[in-house]
Homo-oligomer: A and B are copies of this chain.
Amino acid sequence: MTEVEVKKTQDSLQDRLAQVVDLLHRHRLVENLAHRQDASNQEVIDDLVRRQNLTELQRKLDELHPADIAYILEALPLDERLTVWQLVKAERDGDILLEVSDAVRETLIADMEDHELLAAAREMDVDELADLAPELPRDVVLELMESLDAQQRERMRSVLSYEEDQVGALMDFEMVTIREDVSLEVVLRYLRRLKELPGHTDKLFVVDYDGRLTGVLPLKRLLVNDPERQVGEVMADDPVTFSPDEDAYDAAQAFERYDLVSAPVVDKGGRLIGRLTIDEMVDLIREESESEVLNMAGLREEEDIFASVWKSVRNRWAWLAVNLVTAFVASRVIGLFDGAIEKLVALAALMPIVAGIGGNSGNQTITMIVRAMALDQLGSGNAAWLLRKELGVGLANGLLWGGVIGAVAWWLYDSWSLGLVMTAAMTLNLLLAALMGVLIPITLARMGRDPAMGASVMITAVTDSGGFFIFLGLATLFLM
């Protein structure tokens, strides 16, 4: 994609969204009026006004950066989103499709004709095309593949052969390569002949005649060194490189850690096959954090906030069903003790406190642990240490808050033994919460699963059933 000059738009983006929504609503209002009125004069006037609004809207959209239009599309409910989408100039479709989230892209593609999709896709680079390909209709993809030359087709196949979370799926092919046995002067002349450098070019890749990477020449070094010097003398000969089957999230962390802007991707033989750039890595870091938040709440990551009710129901379904089962188990645990509750109805009122505080505390622990695992801070060496610490925190909080609530229960129900049972149950349930808050994510990770997946639902299940069992069990033993 070509570089687009952007105005300083970031602080007024919310305003622009408001303007678009306003124009859309005026358009809608006129349309609604038109439906209600019969007088044909009125219709003509309305039609004019409506078109005027749309023209103004189109003018506004033409001024915006593709990323800003993407933002506006994300923030609109489906029907308004499609109205805006139809007003966007066809030649900008490709840029915008690449900027929106997967869920929104799906709705936009569904609204496009095959020939529109083809036109948009023809403007794209191979790596961008590969990003989009899985979501395009099959015949569009086939027609596109035919229009590519052999190298491009080979590259597209290579990108598509990697998993979404591998470096190979995120690399692009816009590397500028040079030889090490030429002078910087020659490199400078070569670059001038190129007319344009790819986005995020902060270094040139130095390769030998077999295409093997021998080093990188940062533009900074090219610019400050004497033009008479050879590339080989000036280049960095031990750069950070990535292999295409490496985990993309690890690569993103390396970009963050070593403050990289671009980096070469090499195959097993050391041959340069592509490059990674910081913009893709930033997107990845954001997506990773997002999916962590969503996963903990038991949401799949693809939900667009304006998805239909039906789609949202299906998205949230699975974990709600799991929760239903766990809640039912908790209910049966209570059922075991209905004799005790019948004798002492105060137990029914107090038991949710034990379960609730356990759930809250367990959620705090599991959030900390998931966080530490995402940042790779948790190894086998320190897991035991962390478990002891969390148990310590649980014990302290249990004695403290359990003591408080035990005293309140004693005062309310005038029974010191009930208060003691309450304190003991709170403490034991907080210890259980700490134990499971550490063990659940570690076990999920050992099983190769995402440690955040439904973490919140699972820990709550344990602290609910566990809390009821501990409290009602202790009550049966000591109070009946």
A-to-B contact residues, CB < 8 Å: 5-11, 13-14, 17-18, 21, 25, 65, 67-68, 71, 74-77, 188, 191-192, 194-197, 199-202, 219-220, 222-226, 236, 238-242, 246, 250-251, 253-259, 261, 278-279, 281-283, 285-286, 289-290, 292-294, 296-299, 303, 305-306, 308-310, 312-313, 316-317, 319-321, 323-324, 326-328, 330-332, 334-335, 338, 341-342, 345-353, 355-357, 359-361, 363-364, 367-372, 375-379, 381-382, 385-386, 389, 392-393, 396-397, 400-401, 404-405, 408, 456-457, 460, 464, 468
Question: How often does this chain occur in the complex, in copies?
Answer: 2
A65-B258, A330-B353, A468-B352 known; A393+B342 contact, CB < 8 A: no
Bound Cα distance from A255 to B77, whole angstroms: 26
Bound Cα distance from A363 to B378, whole angstroms: 27
Q: Is the CB of A345 within 8 A of B338?
A: yes
Of chain B, the residue at the smallest CB distance from A392 is B309
Bound Cα distance from A393 to B320, whole angstroms: 12
Q: Is the CB of A299 within 8 A of B368?
A: yes
A224-B191, A320-B357, A330-B356 known; A371+B305 contact, CB < 8 A: yes
Main secondary structure of the interface of A (DSSP, over half): helix
CB within 8 A of A10: which of B251, B346, B457?
B251
Q: Is the CB of A312 within 8 A of B464?
A: no
Q: Is the CB of B305 within 8 A of A246?
A: no
Q: Which 6 A-B pairs have the closest CB atoms?
A: A289-B289, A10-B254, A309-B392, A297-B367, A348-B348, A67-B257
Bound Cα distance from A220 to B297, whole angstroms: 45
Question: Across the interface, which residues of B come within 8 angstroms of A241, CB to CB?
Answer: 8
Q: Is the CB of B219 within 8 A of A196?
A: no
Question: Across the interface, which residues of B come within 8 angstroms of A334, CB to CB?
Answer: 348-349, 352
Bound Cα distance from A400 to B77, whole angstroms: 25
Bound Cα distance from A279 to B259, whole angstroms: 6
CB within 8 A of A396: which of B18, B309, B401?
B309
